[in-house]
Structures are given as C-alpha cells and as structure tokens.
Structure 1
Amino acid sequence: MIRSAILALFTCTVLLFATQQAVAQSQPYQWKATPALHELPTQYANENAVIIMDQRLHTFLSDEKEGLLLYTTLHKIIRVNKEQGVEMFNKVYVPVAYDAEVQEIQARVITPAGKVINLPADKVLDEEEDGRLYKKFALEGVEKGSEVEYIARIKRNASFFGLEVFQSPVPCAEARFTLTIPAYLVFTCKGYNGFEMAADTVIGEQRISYGSCSNITVVENEKYAQTAQHLKNVQYKLSYNLSKDKDVRLFTWNQLAKNIFDRYSKPEEKEVKAIAAFLKSSKINGETEEAKIIALEDYLKNNISINEQGIGDDAELIEKIVKTKVASNEGFTKLFALCLQQMDIKYHIVFPSKRDDIPLDEKLENYRLIEDPVFYFPGTGKYLEPTNISFRYPYIQPNWAATKGLFLQNTSIGNFNTAYASFKNIAILPYEQSSHNMEVTLRFNSNLDSVLMHSKQIFTGYGASMYRPAFHFLPKDKIQDFTQELMQSVSNSKNIRNIKVANDAFADGYSNKPLTIEGDISSAELFEIAGNKLLLKIGDVIGPQVQMYQEKPRQLPVSVEYPHSLDRKIELTIPDGYSIKNPDDLKFFITEKANEEGTMGFISTYKIEGQKLLIDIHEYYKETAYSMEQFDAFQKVINAAADFNKVVLVLEKKK
C-alpha cells in the first residue's frame, strides 16, 4: 500500500537525524493494589455494561541500541450490569500490530462481594481473526455487578502518526489520553468530536500532552448514517525536531506530495524501457484522451493480476510486473501512473477523505489516514480508482466522492519538477446520471387466477456500477441465481422465464449505457380474491422498500451513498368487467418542501385510459448529505416509498 511505503520512508528519514538523547523510562504504570468497586452513576444503571475508565498512554522513549520506541499502555475498567454485558466482557481481545511486542497483560475481576480474581499469565493466548492479531483471554468470575479490569503494555518501533478512537458499543464514563515524548520533539496532538486536549507541558526531559472526555455515549448504527466521522478520537503527528531545526515543520502535506511525486513520476531508465515495450505490445490506442484512459484501464485490469500483499519482492518492480503480470497494489498503482505519464496523459494523485471513515484534517497531517489513491484527470474532470477492478472510469467508490480530497498536483520550477498539496472537493455524479428505474406491465390471465407481469429493471451510473461486477466475477451458474433473485424481489414468485440481460460489460459503463435486466413473471402471490373483488398488491412490484421509524431521537445527520433517482412506470390492464375502486391510493406527493420538488421527494401519479391504468413514480435524492433539520423530511420521503409498497388496489366486478 502507498501508506505503508510512505510511512516507512519518512520514519527512516526522521530517525536518521533524531538525536540519540537517552530518556530514562518512567516507572511502569500500575493499577491499585487493593481495588474496590466504583460507584456507578445512575445514568448507566440500565446499560448492559459501562466503561468506568479507559486510559491510554503513548510514550516515546529513546534507546541507544533500538532508537526511538513507542510504548503503549492500555488500562480499562468495565462494570458489567446485565447478562448481555457478561457475554460481552468475559472474554477480552487486545489488538496487536504486526510489528508490536506485548510485554505484559494483567487482568482481574472484582466480584460484587469484593473478591478479586486475578488472571494467570499462562491464560493469555495468541489469536488471529480476519488477518488481525490479538491477545485473547477468558476471565473467571464475571457476573452481574462485577468489574473487569485489565492493563496491556505494548512495545513497537516509533510511528510518528497516531490515532485512538474512544467510542465503543458501550458507554464510557471517563476516557483519558496521555502522550509523552522526548522534549526535543514537538507533536501536534488534537482531539475530535468533543475529546479535549490541553496544550503540551515540558517537565524535565519529557514533553507531555494530556486530554480527557467524560460521558461518551454509544453512537448507534442508524439507517442512512455514517458513524466514523462522528467518533470521539485523538490524533497526533510529529511536527518539529528541535534538535535539528526548530523552524522546519515535518510531515507536511506538501512534503507528502513531493515524496509521492518522486516515487511515481521519476522512473529509472530500465523502468522507462519496460513501460515503452509494455505499451507497444498492448496496442492501446484512442482518438481522445478519455478514450486512451479507458483503453489503458481496461487493458491493465484485464491483464495484470493484483495481489494485495504482492508475491515476493518483485511485486513492486515494474520490469518484473510487465513480465509476470502480477503486482501488489503499490506496484500496480506505480505501473498505471508511469503508463499515464508515458502516454502524456496529465493526472493528479488524490487521497479521498472518505465519508465512511475518519476524515482527513487539513491542519493535522496524519499520514496514517492516507491509504488508497485515486487518479484525477484535469483534462476530463473525472476520476479513476486504479486498484479496484470492480469500478471503472469515471466511477470511484461513492463514499470517496462528495467529500474533500488531498490533491497532489505536479508543478515545475524552471527545470525542476515536483508537486504540491491542496484540499479540494471531489465531485460526485449528479443524481440524474445514477438511477434504478423500472418498466412494468401487468395483466391477469384469462382465468383470473394469476398475474402475468413483464418487469424490466434499468440501472445507470452508480446504480449499474454496483451490479456489473457480478456478471464478471460470479460463476456462470451463480449469475442465473443472482438475476433470478433480483426478479423475484418484485413479484414474490419463483415462476420467472425469459430473463434477459443487456449492457452488462464494464465497457458499457464508460458511456453510461443502461444495464437492463428483464423477464416474464407469473405470480399468484400478487393478489387475493375477496368475494367479487380482486385485491392486487400493486405496491409489491417496485420491490421491498426501507422503512424508517425512530424509537430513539435521531443522533446523526443523513448520509446517502450517492445521489440518484428511481423512476417507475407501471401499466396495468384492468380485467374486462372490473373497475378500480381506490385509484387515489396511488397518489403521493411527499417532498422536502410542500408543493416544491426540493432536493428529495417521492411523487406518484396515475391516469386511466380505457382499460389501462398508467402509474408514474418519481423518487429522487439529489444530495449525499442531509442535515438534522432535514431529517424529518427525509424520513417522510423514505417512508412514502414504503407506504406505496403497502398499496393494494381493489378491483371490483361491475354490476
């Protein structure tokens, strides 16, 4: 990954000029020798569990042999109130970085009766889940009303960028963070979303930053919300080395831009030759810049296999990649960038401030949050995600757009080429270009015991980009199941025939050709017979809809993955001798503002022409973000679609 490569390079650079000034290690952090149960504030009485105290200490110490090291101490005390809380905390997992050494773990349980049960050291086990390492231990004696306490001490090589998130699935009464560093280093340390950090203080040979936050509530997983950007957290980064040059700020965004420019835009002679031969053999061409971008992306993603970690040391060497056709993410990105450069296609590397992650801060250059790049093409104004084979130009993951991004722009000063950094908005496609539309015709068979339906689903923009990968990466037998399930969702019937798919190729997305999936459906589940009436579940033909009913007050503003519209045209042939008694149930006009379309809405109209009932539905969300003040309107629009889902037409036999 770009992030790991950049961090490694910069860490080495700083360590080279960091003074080897020894700092005596402070006394190890200790818990109370004789613990007692804490008095629990009444506000937490009904919680499954509550973190009484969450203390995290980051200490940088110089060692004559190992250089600068980071010692992290985690200390937590958790009160368990209910059985569910017991299940949550009778086993504890402490995450461990791949380059870290866990020096010690202490844990104990204080029962409601005051008995202390210590964890034997040999009960701490190594565990690996989903590629992450943990220290795991099970605790005895955990019951309602008890407290779980543990301390973990971890040692690792210094990392000059830190992030600690303090929100969890249970509330926290008190959280504390302390950063202790040699006095000759100056870190910028900042709390977010209400976590307060005080100014640093120099005591002897140590510089100390301290912060705290009380009464940290749980951020609920709400529908249409992004939680990460609202989490209470602390971040830090090294800004100055006073022993070297007290006026030179380290790890700036411009410094990052220059370093990445050097890495991706200054190939060695052997790399230039390898790229030239590669492009010649690929026969990539195009009349316009955009056509060349499309052709290059298609060729690279179809012919070079990306292995996230790479295979051996050769996975980042350009001359090896073009021979073996295997690359790491880092190697693939570099290959892509050098091809663009040799084809004289101007691009900028951009690091998105992702909407579903902790955002970048323009004033605190935390390289730890820098990871996956995208390419921006000033000539077309569009983007490309180089290592994601499921997305193709001009689409990047929607949560990476409609946000700010760190743009690394090339510049020339005389004969000297470099780059500088700036934050700009990453545009997302307007709502008209992303849709999930439907065209449906319905009629009853001659015996009036089944509804015959032809349903056509039409996807454009991001709507199509979410489904196209399935037609490329699923096995053939699974593709049929996929389309069958999609059609079944709008009919409640498995009797589906003549399924046809059009414009499912990645190349169709470049020009936004609509991906269409259609078929014929026979359904006895869409209606019921009640005497001389037919009860047609017309609302079901648009498929299941989300309902939003808040039992608790809304916590977070609304986040929509991407702006989009949903237009449905439904044509029902009314059986001879029948009339519709409640057609006005189809009429909806729910928008952001009364009598105005605004930025969101659900509008349904109908007309009857002879034996034809024609329904038009226009649902739309023009923005990705809606404020708390707009939540009530958003909820009404979402629920309008769900309410249409429940509409049942009454077809009554004429007398």
Structure 2
Amino acid sequence: MKKYIFTLILFVTTLVNFAQTIPFYKSYDWEENPAHNVDKSSNENLIALKEKIVTEFHFEEQALVEYFLEHKILWLNSDDAIEEFNKIYLPFSSDSELQINKARVIDTDGKIINLDESKILTAQDEETGRQYKYFAFEGITKGSFIEYLYVVKKDPAYMGKKLNIQDDYPKNKIEFDLLSPSNLTFAFKSFNGLPEVKQDTLNKDKFHYKLYLKDLKKLDNEYLSAYNAAKGYVVYKIDKNIANNTSDIVSYSKVSQNLYSFYYPEYENKTTGLISKFIEELEIPENTDEETIIRRLESYIKSNVYSSEAYSDELQDLDLVLTKKVANETGTLKLYISLLRTFNIKHELVLTSSRDQIKFDKTFEANNFLTDFLIYFPKHKKYLEPSAQEKRYGFPTPFLMDNYGLFIKEVKIGDYKSAVGKVKYIEPVQASETEDTMVVDIAFNPDDLTENIIHFDRSLGGYYAGNIQPFMHFIIGDDRDELVDNIIESITSELTIEKREIVNGESELFGVKPLQFIVDFTSEAFVEKAGRKYLFKLGDIIGPQMQMYQEKERVLPLEQEFHRSYYRTINIKIPDGYKITNLDDINIDNSYSEDGEELFSFKSFYELNGDVLKITADEHYRENIIKVALYEEYRTVINSAADFNKIVLLLEPK
C-alpha cells in the first residue's frame, strides 16, 4: 500500500511545539585521524567496524521534520565486497535535503583519501524518472576501509518504521539513537533476538531512546528462507503527545475508522449513475451466483482499467475512474468497493504484509505492517488482491497469506454505519486447491521397443494454473499449440506430437476447473537398449525435480509460497515376452505428520495386473513455514521426488 494513502486519511494529533533545541547532527562528526583496528587474518569478506544511525524528530517553524543520520565504517576484505560497496546510494528524494554528505577511503597504509564533491553523483532512473545520489568510491584495495557520513532532512516518518540492524556480515559496533521533542514519546519493539530499545533518562531536553550492540553476528541468506523477515530489526512508532494528553496515536482502531470513512462514503447521484453504467458493461445475466459476479468484476477491471503507479487526485477520483478507466491503487480499490456495495456482496478490507519481508505482528500496532490490501469474502472464505494484475480471486499473492492481517468490517446500528478492525489469521489456500495431476499411459512400439507411444494428460489447478489460465483469451491460434508444446517439452524435447488438446481453456474457468493438456506423442527418449535387455527411464516421465543439498547446519526456517499437491499415475503396458525385474525400486515412502495430520509426504508404489503396471507417485506439502527442527524431514521428502526421477526400470526377456 502506498505511503500517500496514510498521509491522506490517518489521524495525526496536533503536535505542540515545545522549546527549540539544536539538532544532534550539528554536534556530530567523524574522527579527523582515525585508527581503525581489525583482525587482518579474518576470513570475512566484509566487517562493519561501526554503524551508527540517528533519527531525530525536530520542530522547525511550527513543523515537525526528521533528520536522519547514518555513519558507517566498513572493512572490505575481498573483490566482491569492493564491487558491492564502491557505490553507496543515499536516501535522497525530491522532498528531502542533504545536510551533510562526505566519504573517504583509508587504505592499507593508513592513508586517507577524501572524496571530493565530484564523486558525489546524481543519476536518474530511466523508468521512473526519479533522481538519486550516490558516493562513487575510488582507490579501494583489498583490506581498505571506507567511511561515509550523511544527514538527510525529510518529511517525518513516525507512524511505523522498520529499521534493519542485522545483515549478512558481522558488525563490531552498532548504535541506534532516536531523539524526539520533550512532548512526543515513541514505542519500540525488537525482533529476531535483538535486545529492546532503552530510554536514556539523563537527557532532559529531549526524549532519547537507544540501542547499542557489540559484536553482532552475521546472518547468511539461506535457500528458501524469508531472509528479510528473519534478520534482527526494530520497529518504532510515535506513541503519545503528552502536551495535550493524547495517547495511542497509532492504533488500528483509528486506521479502521479512517479507511472506512475514505473508502465507504455515501455516493452522490452522479456517482451512482456512473456505477450503474459501468455495471451494464459487465453484461452479467440475472440470477448469476455471487462468486461468478466477483470473478467477472475482477476480470473486467483487470482487463479494462489501466493501472498506474502514479499519485494524483484524478487517478483516485471514483467518478473519473468510472469514466476514463485509469486508476492508481487507491482509485482501483474505490472502484472494487463501489461495485461490491452495489451488488450487496459482503466483504471486508484486509491490510497485511508480505511474510517473506516482515511478519505481521499481532501485538505491536504500527503502519509499516499495513503494506498490502486484500478484499475478504467471509461467505466464501476467499480473498481477492485488487492491485495485483496477474492474480485472481481465491489466489492472491501467496506471501500475503499464512500471515496475520487487519480485517476491517462494516457494522450497522440502525441508520448508523461504522467499521471495526480486528487482527486475524489469513488462512493459506489449501493444498487441495493447488494440484498438479498427471496421468500417463505408456506402450512400447512392438516393432521397436526403444520407441514409446504415450498418452499424456496433465491438469493444473490453483497457483499452478494462475500464470496461464486467466490469460488464455490472449493465447490464440498457433500460440496455443506452442503452449502445449512447451508443457510437454519440459519433460523431453525428443518427441513427435500426434495430437494436442486443451480442456478448460477459457479464462473465466480459473479457480473453477483445472486447465488440462492432453497430448499423444511418440518418443525414443525414455528407452535404452542393453543387449537383450531394455532400460526404461521411468523417472524422466515426471520431468526434472529439485534436489536440496545442505552442506552446513540449517539456521533459518524454510519458507514456501503455497501449499500444493502432485498426483501422478503412470500406466505402462509391458511388451509381450518381457518382465520388469526391479519393481521394488519404485517403492518410496517418506512423510512427516504432526498431531495426526500429514504435513508433507512423497509416496510411490505400484500394482501389477497382468502385463499392465500401474505406478502411483503422489506428493503433498501442507505447511509453508518449516521449522529448523523439521528441516531434515522436509528435505528427505522433497528429495524423494528427485530419487523417483532417477528410477530406471529393467525389462528382461521372460
């Protein structure tokens, strides 16, 4: 969710201007002649000798501003570290001012090389047009130190701010200070093992909060981990204005009330007429069921209303959105709500965060957890993500689920309407809703047993169909054949296709029926002759499978996107005069259950009925966040598919 939404609609208590003080940064500087010490025998690519961050909220001319100071000293002990840090980007924007910016290199001989103004550069992002500034370091050699210090004056951010403390390199000394006027108090919460922020009660002119650490260990980014959410960080927010006895300034109750007032107004007659006209364009038949209406609304909006990331009053004006069909995130959400209200479809607004970046905290109310909008339909227990063009009803961005969120529900008492907000769990989509089902019938060419005749039937549902099925109306003619070919060629490119068919290839069937690909083909990719014997590469039929390796002990929980199931049935017609002598290789059974519920599993087995071998290989993952203690169990299961992928059946003459 864009920052400006909160700027527009959230309640901010009037801030009383207490006695003026001098900003901290004016009395702060780096050492003129530094003597940095580091263990030169270290194998670390990078060490932070010092990281100091000071955030100060300060009154100037009856307005509250923020001064942000960052001072770092880094030891670069590898070419990779030098390449990564030869440019340092500054948090500069059109509404901020750089008060101080300086940097220097201290080489291995202790020589100080100061960056002059020509090395503090300005560039522009070609796509967004946004300007940014950066330090361009030169003369860095392995074992050098770089040091930089800058101060930015900007609009204050105090409704909820995440400050990352831990990183993928060790830090010898960390200092975080937050200073605020003597009438404004702040609240803090530390995450992932960091100590709590303390108040320095000796400072009488300002409130002073601090977190000082020594020797903070690095945290490596592990495969399939929610790394940014797992690092040590601090969240802070303004709490009280003691000048007018206002407390709990940032609260989800106020967020709920203000969002409701903003998104659920009483519409004027003109707006009501435009909504009715828009609905006519949808061409929804009478007596259409509610879920079909929701799907139709979403499909029409995401296909016909241009989505812009720009902020402007026009792009969020509902009347203009209805007529011009151009909207930003705010305007799009207004459009959805106006249509759902007109159809009397009960729904709730949900605000949450992406759990791979920051887990929504149930107890600490801060706006930095409110980053993404969902719409929840309690009757159907499903979600819609209005701002995600590529997602569809029932299947929003997976990382927004299996998380907590703020649910905002309309309440009516007589003619009075209001809203209540409640933090609740966002259930993930179940594995039964995201299935990859494969049925393969395989015969051998009696005149050449190295050639297989294959009937391949694969159905994709839920998230597995989500990148294809909603957009099938764009895929026409030869492109449909190419789509089928790409699906089958993920297994083998050595084939001759005899027949192709797509079932449920209509866009509106996403979430209703699985997208199905049926292909008849012949191939010589699966059989090798070895004298009088034949080797049939059974595992290749299911396509390449991921194998997880772990060279050192796992530290972070594993974080998957969504629950999922794979169903695979392979029917093999054994050629006359032959038998398979290693059938037991097919049997694999690895699973993990908790409290009687199977969380993840891979099970393959066979049935032999005459000359027909039926093989089943099913795989299920019903848990997204895997605790470190269960990592090996999970790895065993997921590697089982890779083990199946290696199975080669031996056909011998009877």
Q: TM-score, normalised by structure 2?
A: 0.92
How many matched pairs?
A: 645
| Separation in structure 2 between the aligned mates of residue 21 and residue 361 of structure 1, nearest angstrom | 35
User: C-alpha offsets along residues 366-420 of structure 1, whole Å, 9 cap, x if unaligned?
Assistant: 2133222111122222221122232222222222122211111222355432212
Aligned residue number for residue 44 of structure 2? 47
| Separation in structure 1 between the aligned mates of residue 143 and residue 79 of structure 2, nearest angstrom | 10
Aligned residue number for residue 70 of structure 1? 66
Cα displacement (A) at 1:470: 5.4
Aligned letter for 2:57? Answer: F
| Separation in structure 1 between the aligned mates of residue 315 and residue 531 of structure 2, nearest angstrom | 72
Cα displacement (A) at 1:539: 0.4
Aligned letter for 1:300? Answer: I
Deviates most, 190-199 or 279-288: 279-288
Contact 2:18 2:183 in 1 (8 A): no
Aligned residue number for residue 547 of structure 1? 547
| Separation in structure 2 between the aligned mates of residue 271 and residue 579 of structure 1, nearest angstrom | 74
Aligned residue number for residue 60 of structure 1? 57
Cα displacement (A) at 1:531: 1.9
Aligned residue number for residue 653 of structure 2? 653
1:222 aligns with 2:187: no
Aligned residue number for residue 499 of structure 1? 500
Alpha carbons of structure 1 residues 550 and 608: separation in structure 2 relative to 1, 3 Å: same
Alpha carbons of structure 1 residues 500 and 339: separation in structure 2 relative to 1, 3 Å: same
Contact 1:175 1:212 in 2 (8 A): yes
Aligned residue number for residue 565 of structure 1? 565
Aligned residue number for residue 296 of structure 1? 297
- What is the SS of the residue equivalent to 2:321? helix
Which of residues 85, 88, 96 in structure 2 aligns to 1:100? 96
| Separation in structure 2 between the aligned mates of residue 597 and residue 8 of structure 1, nearest angstrom | 47
Aligned residue number for residue 22 of structure 1? 20
Cα displacement (A) at 1:218: 4.1
Cα displacement (A) at 1:22: 2.8
1:200 aligns with 2:196: no
- What is the SS of the residue equivalent to 1:243? coil
Alpha carbons of structure 1 residues 213 and 508: separation in structure 2 relative to 1, 3 Å: farther
Matches within 5 A, 1:444-463: 444-445=444-445, 446-463=447-464
| Separation in structure 2 between the aligned mates of residue 262 and residue 497 of structure 1, nearest angstrom | 60
| Separation in structure 1 between the aligned mates of residue 101 and residue 532 of structure 2, nearest angstrom | 75
Aligned residue number for residue 34 of structure 2? 35
Aligned letter for 1:49? Answer: L
Aligned residue number for residue 170 of structure 1? 169
| Separation in structure 2 between the aligned mates of residue 100 and residue 477 of structure 1, nearest angstrom | 53
Aligned residue number for residue 590 of structure 1? 590
Alpha carbons of structure 1 residues 482 and 20: separation in structure 2 relative to 1, 3 Å: farther
Alpha carbons of structure 1 residues 2 and 115: separation in structure 2 relative to 1, 3 Å: closer
Alpha carbons of structure 1 residues 97 and 653: separation in structure 2 relative to 1, 3 Å: farther
Aligned residue number for residue 79 of structure 2? 83
Cα displacement (A) at 1:646: 0.8
Cα displacement (A) at 1:492: 4.5
1:150 aligns with 2:148: yes
Aligned letter for 2:173? Answer: E
| Separation in structure 2 between the aligned mates of residue 207 and residue 76 of structure 1, nearest angstrom | 24
Alpha carbons of structure 1 residues 384 and 609: separation in structure 2 relative to 1, 3 Å: same
Deviates most, 230-239 or 16-25: 16-25
- What is the SS of the residue equivalent to 2:275? helix
Aligned residue number for residue 255 of structure 1? 254
Question: What are structure 1's unaligned runs of at least 5 residues?
Answer: none
Alpha carbons of structure 1 residues 215 and 524: separation in structure 2 relative to 1, 3 Å: farther
Aligned residue number for residue 610 of structure 2? 610
| Separation in structure 2 between the aligned mates of residue 267 and residue 497 of structure 1, nearest angstrom | 60
1:382 aligns with 2:382: yes
Alpha carbons of structure 1 residues 447 and 288: separation in structure 2 relative to 1, 3 Å: closer
Cα displacement (A) at 1:605: 0.5
Cα displacement (A) at 1:21: 4.7
| Separation in structure 2 between the aligned mates of residue 56 and residue 287 of structure 1, nearest angstrom | 58
Deviates most, 274-283 or 189-198: 274-283
- What is the SS of the residue equivalent to 1:562? coil
Contact 1:188 1:364 in 2 (8 A): no
Deviates most, 125-134 or 298-307: 125-134
Aligned letter for 1:307? Answer: S
| Separation in structure 1 between the aligned mates of residue 404 and residue 88 of structure 2, nearest angstrom | 37
Contact 1:37 1:112 in 2 (8 A): no
Cα displacement (A) at 1:474: 6.6
| Separation in structure 1 between the aligned mates of residue 9 and residue 388 of structure 2, nearest angstrom | 25
Aligned letter for 1:457? Answer: R
Contact 2:167 2:231 in 1 (8 A): no
| Separation in structure 2 between the aligned mates of residue 176 and residue 496 of structure 1, nearest angstrom | 65
Aligned residue number for residue 632 of structure 2? 632
Aligned letter for 1:591? Answer: S
Identity of aligned residues (%): 31
| Separation in structure 2 between the aligned mates of residue 172 and residue 88 of structure 1, nearest angstrom | 17
Contact 1:493 1:521 in 2 (8 A): no
User: C-alpha offsets along residues 417-460 of structure 1, whole Å, 9 cap, x if unaligned?
Assistant: 22121111112232222211111122333223433323222112
Aligned letter for 1:47? Answer: E
Contact 2:170 2:217 in 1 (8 A): yes
- What is the SS of the residue equivalent to 2:424? strand
| Separation in structure 2 between the aligned mates of residue 240 and residue 494 of structure 1, nearest angstrom | 70
Contact 2:470 2:510 in 1 (8 A): no
Deviates most, 632-641 or 365-374: 365-374
Aligned residue number for residue 120 of structure 1? 116
Alpha carbons of structure 1 residues 8 and 101: separation in structure 2 relative to 1, 3 Å: farther
Deviates most, 488-497 or 70-79: 488-497
Cα displacement (A) at 1:87: 2.0
Cα displacement (A) at 1:82: 2.1
| Separation in structure 1 between the aligned mates of residue 97 and residue 474 of structure 2, nearest angstrom | 40
Cα displacement (A) at 1:572: 1.7
| Separation in structure 2 between the aligned mates of residue 112 and residue 204 of structure 1, nearest angstrom | 43
User: C-alpha offsets along residues 321-341 of structure 1, whole Å, 9 cap, x if unaligned?
Assistant: 111121112101011112211
Cα displacement (A) at 1:604: 0.5
Alpha carbons of structure 1 residues 633 and 32: separation in structure 2 relative to 1, 3 Å: same
Contact 1:603 1:619 in 2 (8 A): yes
- What is the SS of the residue equivalent to 1:399? helix
Contact 2:462 2:511 in 1 (8 A): no
| Separation in structure 2 between the aligned mates of residue 133 and residue 231 of structure 1, nearest angstrom | 29
Aligned residue number for residue 396 of structure 1? 396
Contact 2:107 2:143 in 1 (8 A): yes
Contact 1:99 1:157 in 2 (8 A): yes
1:136 aligns with 2:170: no
Contact 1:195 1:213 in 2 (8 A): no
- What is the SS of the residue equivalent to 1:197? coil
Contact 1:578 1:653 in 2 (8 A): yes
The Cα RMSD (Å) is 2.5
Alpha carbons of structure 1 residues 95 and 158: separation in structure 2 relative to 1, 3 Å: closer
| Separation in structure 1 between the aligned mates of residue 153 and residue 168 of structure 2, nearest angstrom | 27
User: C-alpha offsets along residues 300-359 of structure 1, whole Å, 9 cap, x if unaligned?
Assistant: 33332222326x532111111111121112101011112211222221100124322212
| Separation in structure 2 between the aligned mates of residue 625 and residue 71 of structure 1, nearest angstrom | 38
Alpha carbons of structure 1 residues 89 and 3: separation in structure 2 relative to 1, 3 Å: closer
Aligned residue number for residue 536 of structure 1? 536
Aligned letter for 1:318? Answer: L
Aligned residue number for residue 508 of structure 1? 509
| Separation in structure 1 between the aligned mates of residue 44 and residue 287 of structure 2, nearest angstrom | 62
Cα displacement (A) at 1:80: 1.3
Alpha carbons of structure 1 residues 149 and 480: separation in structure 2 relative to 1, 3 Å: farther
Contact 1:197 1:212 in 2 (8 A): no
- What is the SS of the residue equivalent to 1:633? helix
Cα displacement (A) at 1:152: 1.8
Question: What are structure 2's unaligned runs of at least 5 residues?
Answer: none
Aligned letter for 1:420? Answer: V
Contact 1:578 1:651 in 2 (8 A): yes
Alpha carbons of structure 1 residues 483 and 101: separation in structure 2 relative to 1, 3 Å: farther
Cα displacement (A) at 1:296: 2.6
Deviates most, 218-227 or 571-580: 218-227
| Separation in structure 2 between the aligned mates of residue 475 and residue 38 of structure 1, nearest angstrom | 66
